[in-house]
């Protein structure tokens, strides 16, 4: 009698026959991630389906007390599978998880339950996280693949940082986005040719990228500078935040969004902090320190390239963020985005992005504490801070969200133009 293969398992044979679908949290970064996966022999497709019906689909299979990112991502994936555009016998889902005390650690199980309830239990689900990953014979994070994925995220941070500082001021509309597309293509081709992902190669390409963006002709007119922070998915995903960045740019704002590498350093550093405080495996701590050091070098290279090759605003280092948080919140506050969220708001204010939208998903208690709950303390320390917390949940309307943001922008505009 042959052993029965679990329904959720992604087998070696499926690598050749199945298409991997995954939610598009970071549109720019995930273009590069998608190309890395394709270059590693996987059939991959980023999901772009949108609309209010996704929320309804999520509510059908996920309890409404579950956090909004889970509801909307599961709704998006179930909607895609129901669309008729995929052969359910030859498709799989892939999702990242943060782990730890966040409810995101349960997304995979919620998704599998949703698939079962929808009669699609045969669709495999692959879980990817910074910690322990499930064993799927058909999906392996090899060392060469991991190096490319980390470099892809590092490049994504650079392109996002620089494009956000040129797009609002460009004399010829579309030049910034065209340069982003060109660099995404160039980086993907470098990866395919087995280059472009080592630290030295990334450092060299950072300099080229910064120089290219510096050559875009700009008309520097006064604009309200707005930072976007919050829960990681709602902060980055246009689907979850109702295309917040596009809305702000239409309101003639310059937008700054903290990079994903800072969050990754935070996710690696906090378990090491636990070992320092409470004890634990020294081997695990040393392994984490190697990854932490590796990512820190990417971060330092980007900061150096921006500061030495341009007049663009460079991000603060992760270690600097940690020090910015200490006077306001304990480093032990580390569920969800924890103290990092508070530190990001402080960094934005100190960098001139005093107007901040703090995106708060329904059901995310850590973010309500470290985000909305810290606004008063930040304002006391930085009187010019103009912060609004916006809830994103199934019952929130886009009109109400945008009206509240417009009130924040009105104060920001008065602070700039009222003194001219």
Answer whether 20's CB lies under 8 Å from 93's CB. Answer: yes
Q: What backbone torsions phi and psi does residue 234 show, to the nearest 5 degrees?
A: -70, -30
Answer whether 370's CB lies under 8 Å from 336's CB. Answer: yes
DSSP per-residue string spanning 259-309: -HHHHHHHHHHHHHHHHHHH---HHHHHHHHHHHHHHHHHHHHHHHHHHHH
Instruction: Please state, in angstroms and rounded to a whole number, the distance separating the CA atoms of residues 406 and 417.
Output: 16
Instruction: Please state, in angstroms and rounded to a whole number, the distance separating the CA atoms of residues 143 and 256.
Output: 32
Q: What is the pLDDT along the chain (420 residues), one digit of tens a residue?
A: 344 445 578 999 999 999 999 999 999 999 999 999 999 999 999 999 999 899 999 999 988 778 888 899 999 999 999 999 999 999 999 988 766 666 666 788 889 999 999 999 999 999 886 555 567 889 988 999 999 999 999 999 999 999 999 999 999 999 999 999 999 999 999 999 999 999 999 999 999 999 999 999 999 999 999 999 999 999 999 999 999 999 999 999 999 999 999 999 998 998 888 887 777 777 777 888 999 999 999 999 999 999 999 999 999 999 999 999 999 999 988 888 999 999 999 999 999 999 999 999 877 888 888 999 999 999 999 999 999 999 998 888 999 999 999 999 999 999 988 754
Please state the pTM of the whole predicted model. 0.94
Instruction: Please state, in angstroms and rounded to a whole number, the distance separating the CA atoms of residues 229 and 154.
Output: 19
Q: Is the dihedral of CA 239, 244, 247, 249 positive or negative?
A: negative
CA dihedral 63, 65, 67, 70 (to 10 degrees): 0
Answer whether 351's CB lies under 8 Å from 223's CB. Answer: no
Instruction: Please state, in angstroms and rounded to a whole number, the distance separating the CA atoms of residues 301 and 161.
Output: 14
**Tokens, residue 180:** 């982003």
Q: Which structural domains are found in the chain, ordered by start?
A: 14-141 (3.40.50), 142-219+279-312 (no CATH)
Give me the residue label for tokens 């700054």. 256
* CB proximity list for 173: less than 8 A, separation 6 or greater: none
**Tokens, residue 16:** 């050749």
Q: Which of 48, 101, 170 is nearest to 366 (CA)?
A: 101
Query: Across the chain, which distance is largest between two alpha carbons, in Å?
Result: 82
Could you report how far apart the first and last alpha carbons of the chain are, in Å?
82
């Amino acid at each position: 009698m042959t052993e029965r293969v679990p329904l959720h398992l992604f087998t070696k044979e499926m690598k050749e026959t199945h298409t991997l679908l995954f939610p598009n949290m970071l549109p720019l970064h995930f273009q590069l991630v998608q190309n890395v996966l394709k270059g590693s022999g996987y059939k991959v497709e980023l999901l772009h389906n949108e609309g209010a019906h996704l929320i309804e689909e999520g509510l059908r299979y996920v309890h409404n007390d579950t956090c909004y990112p889970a509801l909307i991502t599961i709704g998006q994936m179930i909607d895609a599978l129901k669309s008729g555009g995929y052969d359910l016998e030859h498709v799989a889902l892939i999702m990242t998880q943060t782990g730890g005390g966040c409810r995101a650690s349960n997304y995979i199980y919620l998704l599998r339950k949703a698939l079962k309830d929808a009669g699609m239990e045969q669709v495999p689900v692959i879980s990817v996280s910074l910690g322990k990953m499930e064993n799927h014979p058909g999906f392996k994070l090899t060392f060469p693949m991991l190096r490319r994925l980390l470099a892809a995220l590092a490049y994504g941070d650079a392109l996002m940082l620089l494009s956000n500082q040129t797009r609002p001021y460009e004399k010829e509309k579309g030049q910034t986005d065209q340069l982003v597309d060109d660099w995404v293509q160039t980086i993907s081709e470098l990866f395919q040719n087995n280059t472009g992902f080592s630290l030295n190669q990334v450092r060299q390409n950072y300099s080229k990228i910064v120089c290219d963006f510096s050559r875009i002709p700009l008309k520097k007119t006064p604009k309200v500078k707005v930072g976007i922070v919050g829960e990681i998915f709602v902060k980055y995903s246009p689907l979850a935040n109702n295309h917040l960045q596009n809305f702000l740019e239409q309101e003639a704002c310059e937008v700054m969004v903290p990079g994903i590498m800072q969050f990754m350093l935070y996710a690696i550093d906090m378990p090491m902090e636990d070992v320092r405080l409470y004890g634990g495996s020294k081997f695990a701590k040393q392994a984490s320190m190697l990854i932490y050091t590796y990512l820190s070098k990417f971060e330092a290279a980007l900061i150096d390239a921006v500061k030495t090759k341009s007049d663009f605003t460079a991000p603060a280092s992760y270690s600097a963020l940690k020090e910015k948080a200490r006077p306001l919140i304990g480093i032990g506050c580390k569920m969800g985005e924890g103290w990092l969220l508070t530190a990001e708001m402080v960094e934005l204010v100190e960098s001139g992005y005093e107007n901040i939208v703090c995106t708060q998903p329904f059901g995310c208690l850590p973010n309500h504490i470290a985000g909305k709950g810290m606004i008063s303390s930040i304002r006391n320390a930085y009187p010019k801070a103009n912060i609004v917390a916006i809830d994103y949940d199934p019952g929130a309307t886009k009109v109400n969200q945008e009206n509240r943001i417009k009130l924040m922008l009105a104060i920001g505009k008065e602070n700039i133009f009222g003194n001219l």
